[in-house]
């Protein structure tokens, strides 16, 4: 923890099941001692078994939510998650360009844990061409990195190659997540112009992993908002997310949620 609260403006979709999206983001930032404000991009009907409906909000409404927060409460960092369509992506880019001094963590959410598409096809190009260059930290998993780069990703070295290509698009740093790569060890690679740092640990044998990407990226954003250096923010986020998976409450019949509140209980 740090003494600084840190305000994170989260721009992402809502998950009615509470395991991912805005709900996971708010829980994560709060558990790590930060303050979470939100601009909701889409409302989803989902639970641990899948996504049953998606209603994307208008770009004007998304932008108005964000500007209302920035004009009054302010922010120390942005966390960007599910955006839904190209119009919303363009609105978010306008918001970020008006607050260039703030760190921006982008989780390029494209597909839900159960396989449902969360992004229209045209929006993928907008994320790659317009949004990614705004990122202080991009946090793609292997399928997302493959979609953004066109590379096949089956190994950690493939992750590194994809990360190099993504950095070539203008992003300041990438955290390449290896949870989808088979094997007993999960390896994530933080890549920056100064070099790379590897985070690895034994794979946790559980089906309760819904919202891990949202949680990890929001934890990174909380750390940056609190003034932590990038590597320290990622290391804390990685440890927090792993423990949240280990302590998952076991809710639901499918991919269950994590225990976001474990630091609160420990305190």
**Residue 267 domain-assigned (yes or no):** no
Domain that holds residue 89: 7-260
| CB within 8 Å of 38: residues ≥ 6 apart | 9, 10, 11, 12, 22, 25, 26, 65, 69
CATH number reported for the structural domain that contains residue 177 in this entry: 3.40.1190.20
Q: What is the pLDDT of residue 192?
A: 97
Secondary structure E strands in 132-240 = 137-138, 174-176, 185-192, 195-202
CA distances from 46 to 12, 20, 91, 101, 215 (A): 15, 10, 25, 35, 17
Q: How confident is the model at residue 117 (pLDDT cuts 50, 70, 90)?
A: low
Is residue 136 pLDDT above 80, yes or no?
yes
* For residues 32-59, average pLDDT: 96
pLDDT at 3: 77
- The answer to the question of residue 2 being in a domain is no
How many separate domains does the chain show? 1
Answer yes or no: are the C-beta atoms of 134 and 104 closer than 8 Å: yes
What angle is formed at CA 222 by the lines to CA 211 and CA 101, rounded to 5 degrees? 120
Residues annotated as catalytic are 177, 209, 211-214
Across residues 82-101, what is the average pLDDT?
94
Q: Is 163 helix (H, G, I), strand (E, B) or coil?
A: helix
Query: What is the arithmetic mean of pLDDT over 172-200?
Result: 96
Pick the residue with more confidence: 84 or 65?
A: 65
Q: Considering the entire predicted model, what is its pTM? A: 0.95
Average pLDDT estimate for 62-74: 98
Residue 2 — very low, low, confident or very high, per pLDDT cuts 50/70/90? Answer: low
Quote the pLDDT of residue 267.
83
DSSP state of 51: E
> What pLDDT does residue 112 have?
64
Does the residue 1 lie in any domain?
no
- pLDDT of residue 115 exceeding 80, the answer is no
The size of the chain, in residues, is 267
Mean pLDDT to the nearest integer, 169-179: 95
Residue 266 lies in a domain: no
pLDDT, position 110: 79
Does residue 195 sit within a domain? Answer: yes
């Amino acid at each position: 923890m740090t003494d600084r609260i840190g305000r994170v403006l989260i721009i992402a979709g809502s998950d009615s099941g509470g395991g991912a999206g805005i709900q996971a983001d708010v829980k994560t930032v709060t558990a790590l001692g930060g303050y979470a404000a939100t601009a909701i991009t889409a409302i989803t009907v989902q639970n641990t078994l899948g996504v049953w409906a998606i209603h994307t909000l208008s770009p004007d409404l998304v932008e108005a939510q964000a500007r209302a927060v920035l004009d009054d409460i302010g922010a120390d960092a942005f966390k960007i998650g599910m955006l839904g369509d190209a119009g919303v992506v363009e609105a978010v880019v306008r918001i970020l360009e008006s607050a260039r001094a703030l760190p921006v963590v982008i989780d390029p959410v494209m597909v839900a844990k159960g396989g449902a598409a969360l992004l229209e096809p045209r929006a993928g190009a907008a994320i790659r061409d317009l949004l990614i260059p705004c990122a202080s930290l991009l946090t793609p998993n292997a399928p997302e990195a493959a979609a953004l780069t066109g590379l096949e990703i089956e190994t950690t070295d493939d992750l590194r190659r994809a990360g190099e290509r993504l950095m070539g698009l203008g992003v300041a740093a990438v955290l390449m997540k290896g949870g989808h790569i088979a094997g007993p060890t999960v390896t994530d690679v933080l890549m920056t112009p100064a070099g790379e740092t590897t985070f690895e640990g034994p794979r946790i044998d559980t089906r309760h992993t819904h919202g891990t990407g949202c949680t990890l990226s929001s934890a990174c954003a909380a750390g940056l908002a609190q003034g932590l250096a990038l590597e320290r923010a990622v290391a804390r986020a990685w440890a927090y997310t792993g423990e949240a998976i280990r302590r998952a409450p076991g809710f639901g019949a499918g991919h269950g949620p994590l225990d976001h509140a474990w630091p609160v209980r420990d305190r």
